[in-house]
């Protein structure tokens, strides 16, 4: 009896495990393995090069540039999109006419494919006759070139990301808000607390598990969302808006330097692991699970 | 036992098939990219169907593979997985990459008769520069282009310029550009004089400037670049000065994709872009426009661009000779004329321009001839081993200079050093 349960358990886990092994763990291990070899070219087979690829990585100015960009990208997009998500969730958690419509409007960016959306934003940003320039022009300002200038290209990419992400995170906050028992806020109100105090002392702490979940997702997304870069800037000008994953794609599938691509991927995997572990420890004391 | 049974069944099935068909069927797989609007994909399909209708026993599976970038990625992936197509159209500049990956075969192996040799010699030499190396031919020109200058005749007339005369030299382009640049009451520019797009692959149009300044960017062996040549620096300084000193071009990186639209909207009175846009401009420009050769400096000049046919390793000789036969057919004057008229690509053989259909087309629409006439001055597009990476290094240097982060000489010297480090392996 005991034994049969054991088999049963393994059978239940098996499908998920097979796919995880096949598409996540095995590729991750081969990636690490490949990062110690040179790139095979048709006429030159790959050979063991030890840590050469990592040496090259430390001397590669583009790598440091995209890593820095990714840091700014994460710092710029995560707090803003989470804050926006909370504000939007609080707003649509009240009763008012047209509530479903507003909720839907906030969520729409999530539903649309990023590539399609990036093409629309490309038109917004177009110098001269794009939406932004037409609005600015009507107010008497001159032409801008947000995507074509190294000072603003990354910020323009970040704006699209925030717009895309905030609505998605709002859904989680909305669900969390609805699971907070109303007695708690009522009790706080009887004690004489004002709206801000209630949010700071009651609502926000109770949202912490959601914030943990959302922020881990946001961190992963800040390394994962690069689709719009292909459309908007292709990483330019001079890598000003290139991110780590975009650089990995370029190295592996444009330059076909698969070994160096693997090396960059190892760095990204390590970074993501560290960040996820760090977040769990950092939030651990502040998250109150019921 | 089971394996034996299956083998036996397969063998008898093959026998049955072989006796049923007059000759054994030849299957070909053919990847093609589409880089311009219009009916490019439909035209390819139609031409392929026409060929298979004339050649019973040949099946051609024409696969639309996306952009040039997608196509090369797909072809290399398929070939590495042992499923290479027999033939594909891909960027002419990827020749060295494909040789380096050991994926393609020279056409010389399939050239046996004098007629074949005559065919190989019947293409414009400017297009063959990107198709041959080490004395062998690896690419057959098919969808090839070259950049030209388009100008807005209405804007020229308004600025008091002769609407029929485009700038012939760099100086004239600046002078005319100044007259064509319009500002509103607040001092904001409403119409720029000229637009040379610099997003994505700025090296291509910039190569127009370097060629006019009489310098070649890379050697024919594809293992040495001349990025830091003083003449290249001078060309880049000229390009930067268009917006920085003369104020006739929009500052910063200028988007390639939005360029025709900016021209239609009157945002730019002159634009540099590919002949592949000819049909697009003809259909959408709300004013009279002219098409001219790029202005000259030390000489006239332009790069070539676009895609060649390649022949892939890994399949039977029978399939490959059939593939070569198909390429010969589709590059023949009649077929090539259809393709040129549908897209605006430059017909790659003088013979195509001699056909009645092309003569009629050129008579109705003389701008179509400009690109052909410019070929006399055209050179090979920048192409080296590890081509994508080398051009990206060069693109980054151009972007850094255009956006004012580095001066032209520094940016190009750095690019040359990086390119040297990579290409040293190939010398």
Instruction: Give the DSSP letter string of chain A.
Output: -HHHHHHHHHHHHHHHHHHHIIIIIHHHHHHHHHTTBPPPBTTB---B-TTHHHHHHHT-HHHHHHHHHHHHHHHHHHHHHHHHHHHHHHHHTS--TTHHHHHHHHHHHHHS-HHHHHHHHHHHH-TTTSHHHHHHHHTT-----STTSTTTHHHHHHHHHHHHHHHHHHHHHHHHHHTS-HHHHHHHHHTT--HHHHIIIIIHHHTHHHHHHHHHHHHHHHHH--HHHHHHTTT-STTTT--HHHHHHIIIIIS--HHHHHHHHHHHHHHHHHHHHHHHHHHHTT----
- Say yes or no: A25 and A113 in one domain: no
Query: How do beta strands B132-133 and B26-32 pair?
Result: unpaired
Q: What CATH number is given to the structural domain containing A125?
A: 1.10.3720.10
- Say yes or no: A6 and A109 in one domain: no
B242 within some domain: yes
Cβ pair A125, A147 in contact under 8 A: yes
How close, in Å, is residue A152 to chain B by CA atoms?
11
- Say yes or no: B298 and B402 in one domain: yes
How close, in Å, is residue B274 to chain A by CA atoms?
20
Per-residue pLDDT tens over the stretch A153-197: 999 999 999 999 999 999 999 999 999 888 988 898 898 888 889
Q: Which residues of A touch B396 (CB under 8 A)?
A: 236, 238-239
Q: In what order do the strands lie in the sheet with B189-195?
A: B182-183, B189-195, B268-274, B147-152, B289-292
More confidently predicted of A55 and A128: A55
- Say yes or no: B166 and B234 in one domain: yes
- Report the alpha-carbon distance of residue A176 to residue B304 in Å, rounded: 60
What is the domain extent for residue A14?
1-34
How much is the pLDDT for A160?
94
- Say yes or no: B213 and B299 in one domain: yes
- Burial label for B245, CB within 10 Å (0-12, 13-18, 19+), is exposed
Judge: A128–B97 Cβ closer than 8 Å, yes or no: no
What's the domain count of chain B?
2
How much is the pLDDT for A195?
86
- Say yes or no: A224 and A138 in one domain: yes
Q: Which of A148, A150, A256 sits opposite B199 (nearest CB)?
A: A148
Per-residue pLDDT tens over the stretch A237-268: 889 999 999 999 999 988 888 999 999 999 99
Judge: B250–A128 Cβ closer than 8 Å, yes or no: yes
A44 within some domain: no
Q: Which residues of A touch B189 (CB under 8 A)?
A: 142-143
Q: Which two tokens stand for residue A277?
A: 């572990």
Nearest to A114 by CA among A230, A239, A222: A230
Give the phi and the psi of residue B144 in degrees, each rounded to 5. Answer: -110, 150
Q: What CATH number is given to the structural domain containing B114?
A: 3.40.190.10
B289 within some domain: yes
What is the domain extent for residue B272?
147-303+386-426
How close, in Å, is residue A83 to chain B by CA atoms?
33
Q: What is the pTM of this model?
A: 0.85
Low-confidence ranges of chain B (pLDDT < 70): 1-24, 36-38
- Say yes or no: B210 and B229 in one domain: yes
A40 within some domain: no
- Say yes or no: B79 and B114 in one domain: yes
- Say yes or no: A20 and A105 in one domain: no
Q: Which two tokens stand for residue B324?
A: 């070569």
A46 within some domain: no
- Say yes or no: A64 and A19 in one domain: no
Q: How far apart are the first and last CA of chain A?
A: 35
Provide ipTM, 2 decimals.
0.82
The alpha carbon of residue B332 and the mean position of all alpha carbons in its chain are separated, in whole angstroms, by: 19
Per the listing, tokens 């950092």 go with A282
Residues linked to residue B296 through DSSP beta bridges, in sequence order:
B169
The Cα angle at residue B371 between residues B367 and B376, in degrees rounded to 5: 135
- Sign of the torsion angle spanned by Cα atoms B284, B290, B294, B297: negative
What's the domain count of chain A?
2
Per-residue pLDDT tens over the stretch B352-365: 999 999 999 989 88
- Report the alpha-carbon distance of residue B121 to residue B123 in Å, rounded: 6
Per the listing, tokens 């290479």 go with B84
- Report the alpha-carbon distance of residue B57 to residue B41 in Å, rounded: 24
Q: Which of A128, A145, A254 sits opposite B388 (nearest CB)?
A: A254
Task: For B405, name the nearest residue in chain A, comparing CA atoms only.
Answer: A150
- Report the alpha-carbon distance of residue B340 to residue B348 in Å, rounded: 9
- Say yes or no: B105 and B140 in one domain: yes
- Say yes or no: B335 and B361 in one domain: yes
Give the phi and the psi of residue A104 in degrees, each rounded to 5. Answer: -65, -45
B12 within some domain: no
Judge: B250–A127 Cβ closer than 8 Å, yes or no: yes
- Report the alpha-carbon distance of residue A117 to residue B251 in Å, rounded: 26
- Say yes or no: A219 and A280 in one domain: yes
- Say yes or no: A2 and A102 in one domain: no
- Say yes or no: A187 and A102 in one domain: yes
Q: Which of A42, A233, A254 sits opposite B100 (nearest CB)?
A: A42
- Say yes or no: A5 and A120 in one domain: no
How much is the pLDDT for B248?
94
Cβ pair B151, B290 in contact under 8 A: yes
- Say yes or no: B358 and B406 in one domain: no
- Say yes or no: B331 and B274 in one domain: no
- Say yes or no: B325 and B235 in one domain: no
Neighbouring C-beta atoms of residue B416, cutoff 10 Å? 20
- Report the alpha-carbon distance of residue B184 to residue B175 in Å, rounded: 20
Q: Hey, is B214 helix, strand or coil?
A: coil
- Say yes or no: B92 and B154 in one domain: no
Task: For A41, name the nearest residue in chain B, comparing CA atoms only.
Answer: B101
How much is the pLDDT for B18?
41
Helix pair angle (B333-343, B356-364), 10° resolution: 20
B147 Cβ partners below 8 Å, 6+ apart? B204, B205, B208, B272, B273, B274, B275, B294, B302, B303, B305
Neighbouring C-beta atoms of residue A225, cutoff 10 Å? 20
How much is the pLDDT for B24?
62
Cβ pair B379, B301 in contact under 8 A: yes
- Report the alpha-carbon distance of residue B191 to residue B177 in Å, rounded: 10
Judge: B392–A254 Cβ closer than 8 Å, yes or no: yes
Task: For B75, name the nearest residue in chain A, comparing CA atoms only.
Answer: A253
Q: What value does the mean pLDDT take over residues A1-18?
A: 87
- Say yes or no: A158 and A234 in one domain: yes
Neighbouring C-beta atoms of residue B125, cutoff 10 Å? 11
Neighbouring C-beta atoms of residue B385, cutoff 10 Å? 21
Distances (CA, A) of A72 to A93, A149, B361: 32, 17, 55
Cβ pair A126, B255 in contact under 8 A: yes
B39 within some domain: yes
- Say yes or no: A178 and A243 in one domain: yes
> Which of A238, A247, A251 should we substitute to test contact with B (largest number of B Cβ atoms within 10 Å)?
A238
- Report the alpha-carbon distance of residue A167 to residue A84 in Å, rounded: 8
Q: Which of B189, B252, B395 sits opposite A148 (nearest CB)?
A: B252
Judge: A43–B200 Cβ closer than 8 Å, yes or no: no
Per the listing, tokens 């003083």 go with B230
Per-residue pLDDT tens over the stretch A126-164: 888 889 988 988 887 878 889 989 999 999 999 999 999
B272 within some domain: yes
B275 within some domain: yes
- Say yes or no: B408 and B296 in one domain: yes
Q: Hey, is B166 helix, strand or coil?
A: coil
How much is the pLDDT for A192?
87
- Say yes or no: A5 and A71 in one domain: no
């Amino acid at each position: 009896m005991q034994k049969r349960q054991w088999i049963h358990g393994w059978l239940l886990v098996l499908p998920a495990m097979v796919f995880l092994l096949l598409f996540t763990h095995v590729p991750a291990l081969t990636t690490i393995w490949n990062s110690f070899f040179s790139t095979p070219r048709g006429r030159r087979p790959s050979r063991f090069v030890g840590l050469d690829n990592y040496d090259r990585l430390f001397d590669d100015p583009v790598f440091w540039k995209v890593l820095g960009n990714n840091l700014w990208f994460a710092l710029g997009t995560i707090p803003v999109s989470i804050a926006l998500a909370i504000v939007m969730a609080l707003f649509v958690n009240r009763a008012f006419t047209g509530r479903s419509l507003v909720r839907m409007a906030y969520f729409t960016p999530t539903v649309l494919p990023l590539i399609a959306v990036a093409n629309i934003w490309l038109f917004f940003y177009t110098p001269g006759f794009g939406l932004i320039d037409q609005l600015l022009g009507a107010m008497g300002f001159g032409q801008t070139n947000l995507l074509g200038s190294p000072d603003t290209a990354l910020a323009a990419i970040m704006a699209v990301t925030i717009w895309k992400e905030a609505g998605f995170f709002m859904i989680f906050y909305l669900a969390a808000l609805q699971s907070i028992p109303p007695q708690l806020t009522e009790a706080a109100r009887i004690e004489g607390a004002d709206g801000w105090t209630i949010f700071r002392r009651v609502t926000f702490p109770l949202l912490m598990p959601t914030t943990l979940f959302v922020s881990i997702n946001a961190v992963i997304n800040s390394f994962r969302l690069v689709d719009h870069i292909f459309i908007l800037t292709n990483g330019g000008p001079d890598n000003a808006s290139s991110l780590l994953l975009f650089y990995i794609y370029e190295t592996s599938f444009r330059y076909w330097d698969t070994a160096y691509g693997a090396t960059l991927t190892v760095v990204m995997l390590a970074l993501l692991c560290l960040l996820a572990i760090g977040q769990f420890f950092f939030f651990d004391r502040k998250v109150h699970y019921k | 036992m089971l394996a034996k049974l299956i083998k036996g069944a397969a063998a008898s099935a093959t026998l049955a098939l072989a006796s049923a068909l007059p000759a054994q069927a030849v299957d070909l797989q053919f990847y093609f990219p589409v880089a311009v609007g219009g009916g490019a994909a439909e035209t390819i399909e139609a031409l392929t169907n026409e060929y298979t209708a004339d050649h019973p026993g040949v099946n051609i599976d024409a696969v639309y593979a996306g952009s040039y970038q997608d196509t090369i990625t797909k072809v290399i992936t398929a070939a590495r997985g042992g499923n290479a197509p027999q033939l594909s159209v891909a960027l002419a500049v990827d020749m060295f990459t494909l040789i380096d990956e050991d994926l393609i075969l020279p056409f010389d192996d399939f050239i046996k008769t004098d007629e074949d040799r005559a065919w190989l010699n019947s293409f414009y030499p400017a297009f063959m520069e990107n198709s041959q190396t080490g004395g062998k031919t690896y690419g057959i020109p098919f969808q090839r282009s070259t950049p030209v200058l388009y100008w807005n005749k209405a804007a020229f007339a308004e600025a008091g310029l002769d609407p029929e005369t485009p700038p012939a030299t760099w100086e004239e382009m600046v002078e005319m550009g100044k007259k064509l640049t319009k500002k509103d009451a607040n001092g904001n520019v409403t119409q720029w004089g000229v637009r040379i797009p610099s997003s994505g692959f700025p090296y291509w149009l910039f190569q127009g400037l370097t060629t006019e300044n009489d310098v070649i960017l890379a050697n024919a062996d594809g293992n040495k670049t001349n990025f830091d040549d003083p003449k290249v620096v001078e060309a880049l300084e000229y390009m930067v000065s268009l917006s920085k000193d003369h104020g006739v071009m929009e500052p910063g990186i200028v988007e390639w994709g939005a360029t025709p639209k900016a021209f239609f909207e009157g945002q730019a009175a002159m634009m540099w872009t590919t002949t592949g846009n000819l049909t697009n401009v003809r259909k959408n420009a709300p004013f009279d426009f002219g098409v001219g050769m790029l202005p000259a400096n030390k000489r006239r000049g332009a790069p070539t661009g676009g895609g060649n046919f390649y022949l892939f390793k890994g399949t039977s000789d029978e399939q490959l000779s059939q593939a070569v036969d198909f390429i010969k057919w589709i590059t023949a004057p009649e077929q090539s004329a259809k393709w040129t008229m549908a897209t605006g690509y430059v017909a790659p053989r003088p013979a195509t321009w001699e056909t009645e259909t092309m003569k009629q087309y050129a008579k109705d629409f003389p701008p179509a001839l400009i690109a052909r006439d410019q070929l006399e001055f055209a050179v090979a597009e920048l192409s080296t081993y590890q081509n994508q990476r080398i051009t990206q290094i060069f693109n980054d240097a151009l972007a850094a200079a255009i956006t004012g982060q580095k001066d032209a000489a520094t940016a190009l010297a750095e690019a040359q050093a990086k390119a040297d480090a990579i290409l040293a392996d190939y010398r």
